[in-house]
Structure 1
Amino acid sequence: GGLGAVHGGLGKLLPAINKLQDVMASIAERGSAVELPQIVVVGSQSSGKSSVLESIVGKDFLPRGSGIVTRAPLILQLQTYRGRVGVGECEEWGEFLHCPQKKFTVFKDIRKEIEDETERVTGKKQAISHNPIRLRITSPHVPDLTLVDLPGMTKVPVGDQPADIETQIRDLVLKYTANPNSIILSVTPANSDIATSDSIQIARAVDPKGDRTIGVLTKLDLMDKGTNALAMLQGKVVHLKLGFIGVINRSQKDIADEKDLESSRKDELKYFASHPAYAQLASSHHIGTVFLARRLNSILLSHIKARLPALRNRIMSLVATSRKELQSLGEAPSDDADDHRKMLLSVITQYVDNFCTTIDGGRHLTSFSELRGGARISHTFNQLFPQRLNAILPHENLPPSEIHMTIRNTKGARTSLYGSVPQDAFEMLVKKLIKQLREPASWCVDTVFDELRTISEECEPKELQRFEVLRNRFREVSAEMLSRCFRDAKKMIESLILFELAYINTNHPDFCDIGAVLGATFVDPLNLQAPPPKQQGPPAQAPQPAGPGGDQGNPLNWFGGKESKAGRSATPTGKQTKGGGG
């Protein structure tokens, strides 16, 4: 017969839990969700868990096919219908939370809606989604239960499935089974090794003592001849506190022939009653789908009762917090358009004032351990940015060999006067150093932009908390304005760099002494000896020619390199000669 009589006291309690579950689903994104008691169905892709669920419901309503058909959690709320059915009225139907105004009285339409909603939340590819589909089935033939059908576990991706499909499914299963208020329904084929069962291993990971795990053995009729699962059903192989229950599902041929589930249940009972190993369990009604539904109903009722005090305290705490938050938001706004405009202007003005005072330093301090707002921006410009500029060491980025080769390459086959540096070589080397300014300048803009975004979020007036749509619009506009300025600043930096690269002013005073110094000290990079400089005075006053190891004529000194003794050597007048400008 039907399973509607198997309600065991859940008739009023479970609908309240289900309603609470629907409410919590709508506020889950706010982080206030309560972990409610429910039965989580876990099994491998070919374990037969979908058939178990359909046997409990007594209807074909779950999608079928090759590969992973269930790609999102299906929260199935079964509710026994206890009313009277009028003429022309249907006694069983399904309702989805995402379309609550529509009743599905044809269960094939329920299957189609599950498929469509799955595709909507996961896409056409074989992806996995954590967003649950909520279905409530009301019928006089179902027990009061809340079940969560999860994707079947698999190890090898096929078709369009992601390469990490195993990890995705495992993470999803762990998310639901780790809930201490959930009962784990571990489905395992009896004709496989239970010690390596995926569902048993998952259950052990989150429930090592087996206190809230109940096992279901499917395909008992497909075991090798002469073998049986009695030892497993008796808990002698794997011990679970809630025990194991054996069931027989419809075969693929039965499904293809559209064998009804009522006939399937009768055949299941006949099989167990006639089997020597299971006859005793059958006579005491401790095996089969009907017993499974009754047992799940009883377990869920006990589980809810045991956790009801803690759930009540948690919910009352959330209610108190929400009421306090509601009171802090003030009275509801009026419907007058002028009042709306005044309030909007007030909020905008307050936001601008908060932003400006945070930049100027007049706002109330919120941190005493770190720089915030305008102080942080000033520190970035005046301390951190110069430090990054000073960290650029030209003599490290332009090794002598590169300088020498650049000079020779720009001369080509031509010769030049001793000690002269080609204009092209000088500009090439200087431009390479100028390009190094991009990174610290870009870093400075990024850092200030991040701080301005933080300021923007912290300056939101408290009144914005009352109006989520307005607050989101505020954030969108602020983010767009900051992003536009950010892009403009980046373009300006690039323009300044390009300006500097476009023309090198070699007539700058910083470069005026280079020719004189080179004329006296330049040594050919290929060690070709230059003639000694002409004596114009006493020998003691003549400049000393620099050998290959000398640094007076080292072109690195033109670009802010390490200070050399030759570049600062004393002249006959006691003055310092300039070794180079940056």
Structure 2
Amino acid sequence: MAGLWYIEYEKKIRPYIDLIDSLRALGLDKDLPLPTIAVIGDQSSGKSSVLEMLSEVALPRGTGIVTRCPLELKLKNGVQGTPWKGQIRYRDSVITLKSPDEVEEEIKSAQEDLAGRTGISSELISLQVESSCAPDLTLIDLPGIIRVPIGDQPQDIGAKIKDLIKSYIRKEETIILVVISCNVDIATTEALKMAQEVDPKGERTLGVLTKPDLIDCGTESDLLKIINNQIIPLQKGYMLIKCRGQQDLFAKTSLANALEQETEFFRKNVHFRTLLDNKLASFQHLSTRLTNELIVHIRKCLPVIQETIRNNISANTKQLEKIGGAIPEDIQTRVHDMTSKILIYCEELINLAMGDYKKEYNNEMKLYHFAREKFAEWCKQLDVVKIKLNEEAINMVKHHKKYSKGRELPGFTKYTVFEAIIRDQIQELMGPSLEMMKELSDKIETVFNTLAVQHFNGFPVLVNETRCKIAETCQKIEKEAENVIRTNFKMEGMVYAPDAMYSYKLMEFQAHSQQKGNNLTGNLNPDVQSMVVHLQTYYQIAIDRLVQMVPMVLRYYLLQELTNQIKLELAQILFHSKDVAALLHEEGDMAAKRVSLRSSLDRLTKARTLLMNF
């Protein structure tokens, strides 16, 4: 490439590749998949030779598994006449290379550091090469697929290699470059099968056929059928290349000479000459094709990458806020920070209990709403009880008239009978009122505990301590509320109403009955009639008191006093603890999770800036 065309090409192509390389250098591929070309192939398919010819550097060769870690090849076409540049990065190591001859040994050394002597590793080795002969291209070389382990290789190494390969090629952002030897049955190629599993329509897969010089004479037509998509179709199709053979390696044929020999081979071959003319054969056309495929793919993926970055930043920020994104390491600073969190938590409890909803809660969390529903049910229940008592008043009076009559003369009514009937009926309502109290108390404790987990997420000791304080305070306040309710029911047993109120209610009841034309007392004796009317009147007064009294007690104690007491208890929890450090100890992976989220946010934010400036 030279002249104005090369300069224009560099302006259009290089920025896209540099952008993705920069995003990958940030580590963004830990957060989301990036466009790339993954190179896969069965063992001895010629995969390493293909990469050597593309990069013009010697990669590790030998028997068995040669590539034992993912190898990122970042190739950059330099200006003609500039010296060759190379660099290897893995983990925290950065190795500057002086010549292409150093590449093979340094990669072997890096693989041994990461994967040991015979194993494999998913950790990435990055090889950056800048040369006037290299194409503008970035791709990832993956270990060759093996069927049977040999020597001292782990027995499960084949399965591990497949899992590693799938972790790359299953991503929609990955172009799959499948290297296939021409002298094997394409239908039995494991690499092509794996590509078909993740890309069944062949939309992301490009086949590269190697070793055309090793096929039997007369089988060229079969090979052409594959390239013409007549055997196993791929939308990106196939290309044919010829790498350096074993004799070339023994003769130390340079890569430049090998490229010339490859072109000459295709020109002279009557079957493959047309492929060369149609740009379906040779490394020159393959490198251009791969670069163009990668650029198109990058352009297609950029809007998705930008949207994913925005969504991930938002999600990570919310998650970091949830677990406490700014939890300090210093214990005193942490105490101050956590005290603020506890006070915020307590304020939220009060808001929920008082119905002051400052933000959206689901209905399960709205305590005041829950309490109002229970109080409404209590009101309806007492209305039903009032009607029932009025209807049963005659029978109760007749019963006492028959079995409780003493030495009094006819026409005299026993006040003790009136008192006994009232006391028995009213006391039956104490059980339901205490059940309502228990139901409300349990609901409050559940909601408070749920909020404790949300506010103090990641601090299990503090959450448990908070739960204990809530349980103790609930039990204490619930007992106080129960005592007040029981006392009120005892007072109701005294049978009392102000004279003026009682007289007014009595006349009101009688007038209402006459207006409805409903003589509730029937044709009873005057003393029985009088007792029934007085009972029905008093029920109105007693029930009206209970309708208000029980909810007011529960609202005061369980909503107002309970939340205030919990606030006082929790406000001092950090200062009265014998071991504050233990109280503020985070659960196992929470600190690591926070560090991971912060690192991710840092990468995503930098990536967003890069994309905005692109």
Where on the TM-score scale, by shorter chain, does this alignment land: which range? 0.5 to 0.7
1:51 corresponding residue in structure 2? 49
Q: Is residue 13 of structure 1 aligned with residue 16 of structure 2? A: yes
Over 3 Å counting, the alpha-carbon distance change for 1:323 and 1:142 in structure 2 is farther
The answer to whether the 8 A contact 1:143-1:293 is kept is yes
The C-alpha deviation readout for 1:448-500, integer Å capped at 9, x for no partner, is xxxxxx9987669999987789xxxxxxxxxxxxxxxxxxxxxxxxxxxxxxx
The 3-state SS of whatever aligns with 1:156 is coil
* 1:167 positional shift: 1.0
Over 3 Å counting, the alpha-carbon distance change for 1:213 and 1:250 in structure 2 is same
2:486 corresponding residue in structure 1? none
1:141 corresponding residue in structure 2? 133
Q: Is residue 70 of structure 1 aligned with residue 67 of structure 2? A: yes
* 1:135 positional shift: 1.9
Question: Match of 2:49, as an amino acid?
Answer: S
The 3-state SS of whatever aligns with 1:113 is helix
Matches within 5 A, 1:476-555: none
1:343 corresponding residue in structure 2? 333
Normalised TM-score (structure 2): 0.53
Matches within 5 A, 1:119-518: 119-124=112-117, 126-228=118-220, 229-321=223-315, 342-343=332-333, 364-366=448-450, 373=464
* Partners of 2:583 and 2:165 in 1: CA distance: 40
The answer to whether the 8 A contact 1:155-1:165 is kept is no
Question: Match of 1:308, as an amino acid?
Answer: L
The C-alpha deviation readout for 1:132-189, integer Å capped at 9, x for no partner, is 1122222222122121111100111111111112211111111111011100001110
Over 3 Å counting, the alpha-carbon distance change for 1:121 and 1:458 in structure 2 is same
The answer to whether the 8 A contact 2:183-2:212 is kept is yes
The 3-state SS of whatever aligns with 2:22 is helix
The answer to whether the 8 A contact 1:11-1:80 is kept is no
Structure 2: 5+ residue stretches without partners: 344-444, 454-459, 469-581, 598-614
Q: Is residue 115 of structure 1 aligned with residue 113 of structure 2? A: no
* 1:303 positional shift: 0.9
2:77 corresponding residue in structure 1? 80
Over 3 Å counting, the alpha-carbon distance change for 1:236 and 1:457 in structure 2 is farther
Over 3 Å counting, the alpha-carbon distance change for 1:307 and 1:123 in structure 2 is same
Coordinate RMSD, CA, aligned: 4.2
The answer to whether the 8 A contact 2:90-2:124 is kept is no
* Partners of 1:169 and 1:375 in 2: CA distance: 49
1:437 corresponding residue in structure 2? none
* Partners of 1:140 and 1:324 in 2: CA distance: 48
* Partners of 2:15 and 2:196 in 1: CA distance: 33
* 1:21 positional shift: 1.1
The answer to whether the 8 A contact 1:77-1:136 is kept is yes
Which of structures 1 and 2 has the larger relative contact order (alpha carbons within 8 angstroms, sep 6+)? 2
* 1:58 positional shift: 1.6
* 1:76 positional shift: 1.4
* 1:83 positional shift: 8.7
* Partners of 2:297 and 2:206 in 1: CA distance: 13
Greater helix fraction, Structure 1 or Structure 2 = 2
Over 3 Å counting, the alpha-carbon distance change for 1:351 and 1:46 in structure 2 is farther
Over 3 Å counting, the alpha-carbon distance change for 1:78 and 1:273 in structure 2 is same
Over 3 Å counting, the alpha-carbon distance change for 1:468 and 1:282 in structure 2 is closer
The 3-state SS of whatever aligns with 2:449 is coil
* Partners of 2:53 and 2:284 in 1: CA distance: 9
The 3-state SS of whatever aligns with 1:134 is strand
Q: Is residue 23 of structure 1 aligned with residue 64 of structure 2? A: no
* Partners of 2:11 and 2:196 in 1: CA distance: 29
Over 3 Å counting, the alpha-carbon distance change for 1:46 and 1:466 in structure 2 is closer
* Partners of 1:293 and 1:273 in 2: CA distance: 19
* Partners of 1:285 and 1:242 in 2: CA distance: 13
* Partners of 1:463 and 1:134 in 2: CA distance: 30
* Partners of 1:243 and 1:291 in 2: CA distance: 14
The 3-state SS of whatever aligns with 1:9 is helix
The C-alpha deviation readout for 1:188-240, integer Å capped at 9, x for no partner, is 10111001111110111000000110000000000012221211111111111
The C-alpha deviation readout for 1:301-320, integer Å capped at 9, x for no partner, is 11111111111111233344
Normalised TM-score (structure 1): 0.56
The answer to whether the 8 A contact 1:43-1:153 is kept is yes
Over 3 Å counting, the alpha-carbon distance change for 1:364 and 1:114 in structure 2 is farther
* 1:342 positional shift: 3.5
The 3-state SS of whatever aligns with 1:79 is strand
* Partners of 1:281 and 1:464 in 2: CA distance: 55
The C-alpha deviation readout for 1:59-109, integer Å capped at 9, x for no partner, is 21x111111011111111212224984xxxx34323425457542122232
Q: Is residue 35 of structure 1 aligned with residue 119 of structure 2? A: no
* 1:279 positional shift: 1.2
The 3-state SS of whatever aligns with 2:233 is coil
Question: Match of 1:216, as an amino acid?
Answer: V
The answer to whether the 8 A contact 2:87-2:94 is kept is no
The 3-state SS of whatever aligns with 2:27 is helix
* Partners of 1:16 and 1:77 in 2: CA distance: 12
* 1:351 positional shift: 12
Answer with 205-214 or 5-14: which moved more: 5-14
The answer to whether the 8 A contact 1:78-1:142 is kept is yes
Q: Identity of counterpart residues, as a percentage?
A: 31
* 1:362 positional shift: 12
* 1:51 positional shift: 0.3
Question: Match of 1:254, as an amino acid?
Answer: D
Over 3 Å counting, the alpha-carbon distance change for 1:456 and 1:304 in structure 2 is same
Question: Match of 1:94, as an amino acid?
Answer: Q
The 3-state SS of whatever aligns with 2:450 is coil
The answer to whether the 8 A contact 2:85-2:99 is kept is no
Answer with 227-236 or 313-322: which moved more: 313-322
The 3-state SS of whatever aligns with 2:276 is helix
Larger radius of gyration: 2
Q: Is residue 94 of structure 1 aligned with residue 94 of structure 2? A: no
The answer to whether the 8 A contact 1:73-1:133 is kept is yes
Over 3 Å counting, the alpha-carbon distance change for 1:270 and 1:182 in structure 2 is same
The C-alpha deviation readout for 1:104-146, integer Å capped at 9, x for no partner, is 122232222211111111112x212111112222222212212
The answer to whether the 8 A contact 1:71-1:129 is kept is yes
* 1:284 positional shift: 3.5
